[in-house]
Amino acid sequence: MTIKILRISDDEKMVIHDTIMQYGKVSNSVKKAREYALLLKDRIPVVMHDLNLLKECSISCLQLKNLPAVDYRQDLDGSESETMALVIGSLYSIPFQYIQQNHGKVAAEIRPSVGREITQSSSGKALFGWHTDDAFLTPEVRTDWIQLLGCHNQSHSSNYFLRLKIY
């Protein structure tokens, strides 16, 4: 698996932070998020070219470093994570979500909630084994890419990504 690492500059980090804080809800931040994504896209044309050629992709994973993490608070409504997912997702294409999953929200909030900490769910901290979220779908309607974005990770849980070629 080939991993490409791109470190976000401090100026770009501030733009993301300002987008998240000033524009809040995703519906109000689409334009600003797209503008930011285009700035980043200019910095990584080779990476974007490879990601757009998914069938012949030489890069399995693009890791962005130095993103602005939002302090974990129980009262967050999820708009910060949704906006950051929109900004980063706009680098590749228009982000989408199944309307049946989380009511079509762009970002699924995965964080512990009181009483569910030990469950294997988006509300728990229990370790998940290797799995795929869309194996039940036929190949022509499976997702082309997946975005794992850690905004809240107090326990510093690890996430692993594995690209499989199916013959």
Per-residue pLDDT reduced to its tens digit, 84-104: 666 666 655 555 566 666 666
Classified as helix, coil or strand, 43 is helix
Q: Which helix (H) or strand (E) holds 61?
A: strand 61-65
Q: Can you tell me the distance from the alpha carbon of 83 to that of 104, in angstroms, rounded to the nearest whole number?
A: 14
93 close to 39: Cβ distance less than 8 angstroms: no
151 close to 81: Cβ distance less than 8 angstroms: yes
- pTM comes to 0.47
Q: Which helix (H) or strand (E) holds 14?
A: helix 10-23
45 close to 59: Cβ distance less than 8 angstroms: no
Q: Spell out a b/e string for 153-166, using b for 16 or more CB atoms within 10 Å of the CB, else e.
A: eeeeeeeeeeeeee
Average pLDDT over residues 29-54: 57
Per-residue confidence band for 9, with pLDDT thresholds at 50, 70 and 90: confident
Per-residue confidence band for 71, with pLDDT thresholds at 50, 70 and 90: low
Per cent of the chain over pLDDT 90 is 0
Q: Can you tell me the distance from the alpha carbon of 159 to that of 141, in angstroms, rounded to the nearest whole number?
A: 25
Please give the pLDDT value at position 55: 47
Per-residue confidence band for 10, with pLDDT thresholds at 50, 70 and 90: confident
Average pLDDT over residues 105-114: 66
Phi, psi (rounded to 5 degrees) for 139? -50, -35
